[in-house]
Structure 1
Amino acid sequence: MNAKKRYAIFETLQSLNPHPKTELEYTTPFELLIAVMLSAQATDVSVNKAMRKMFPVANTPAAVLALGEAGVSDYIRTIGLYRTKAKNVIATCRMLIDQYDGQVPDDREALEALPGVGRKTANVVLNTAFGHPTIAVDTHIFRVANRTGLAPGKDVRAVETALEKFTPKEFLRDAHHWLILHGRYVCRARVPECWHCAIEPLCEYRPKTPAPVE
Structure 2
Amino acid sequence: MPKPSKTKLRALEILYRLKQEYPDSTCALNYETPLQLLVAVILSAQCTDKRVNLVTPELFRQFPDAPALAMADREDIESAIRSTGFYRNKAKHIQGACQKIVKEFDGSVPRTMAELLTLPGVARKTANVVLAHAFGINAGVTVDTHVKRLSNRLALTQHSNPVRIEKDLMRLIPQPDWENWSIRLIDHGRAVCNARKPRCQECVLFDLCPTGQVYLENPTAPKLSRSRSRA
So what's the TM-score if we normalise by structure 1? 0.90
Give the drift of 1:19: 4.2
What does residue 119 of structure 1 align with? 124
SS in 2 for 1:189: coil
Give the drift of 1:114: 0.6
Alignment of 1:55-204 (within 5 A): 55-133=60-138, 134-204=140-210
Structure 1 residues 168 and 35, CA, compared in 2 at 3 Å: closer, same or farther? same
Per-residue CA distance 1:121-146 (angstroms, 9 max, x = gap)? 11111222122222111111000000
Per-residue CA distance 1:59-100 (angstroms, 9 max, x = gap)? 310222343211111110111110111111111111111111
Structure 1 residues 185 and 65, CA, compared in 2 at 3 Å: closer, same or farther? same
Equivalent in 207, 211, 216 of residue 208 of structure 1 = 216
Structure 1 residue identity aligned to 2:64: N
SS in 2 for 1:50: helix
Structure 2 residue identity aligned to 1:143: R
Give the drift of 1:54: 1.3
Which is further off, 179-188 or 29-38?
Answer: 179-188
**In structure 1, C-alpha distance between the alignment counterparts of 2:28 and 2:107, rounded to whole Å:** 25
Q: Which runs of 4+ in 1 moved over 4 A?
A: none
**In structure 2, C-alpha distance between the alignment counterparts of 1:125 and 1:170, rounded to whole Å:** 15
**In structure 1, C-alpha distance between the alignment counterparts of 2:176 and 2:88, rounded to whole Å:** 41
Equivalent in 14, 22, 32 of residue 9 of structure 1 = 14
Structure 2 residue identity aligned to 1:14: K
Identity %: 36
- Equivalent residues of 2:129, 2:179 under 8 A apart: no
**In structure 1, C-alpha distance between the alignment counterparts of 2:72 and 2:57, rounded to whole Å:** 16
- Equivalent residues of 1:193, 1:209 under 8 A apart: no
What does residue 53 of structure 1 align with? 58
- Equivalent residues of 1:192, 1:209 under 8 A apart: no
**In structure 2, C-alpha distance between the alignment counterparts of 1:109 and 1:117, rounded to whole Å:** 11
What does residue 28 of structure 1 align with? 33
Structure 1 residues 78 and 15, CA, compared in 2 at 3 Å: closer, same or farther? same
Alignment RMSD: 1.9
- Equivalent residues of 1:147, 1:204 under 8 A apart: yes
SS in 1 for 2:204: coil
Could you tell me which runs of 5 or more consecutive residues in structure 2 were left unpaired when the two chains were aligned.
Answer: 1-5, 220-231
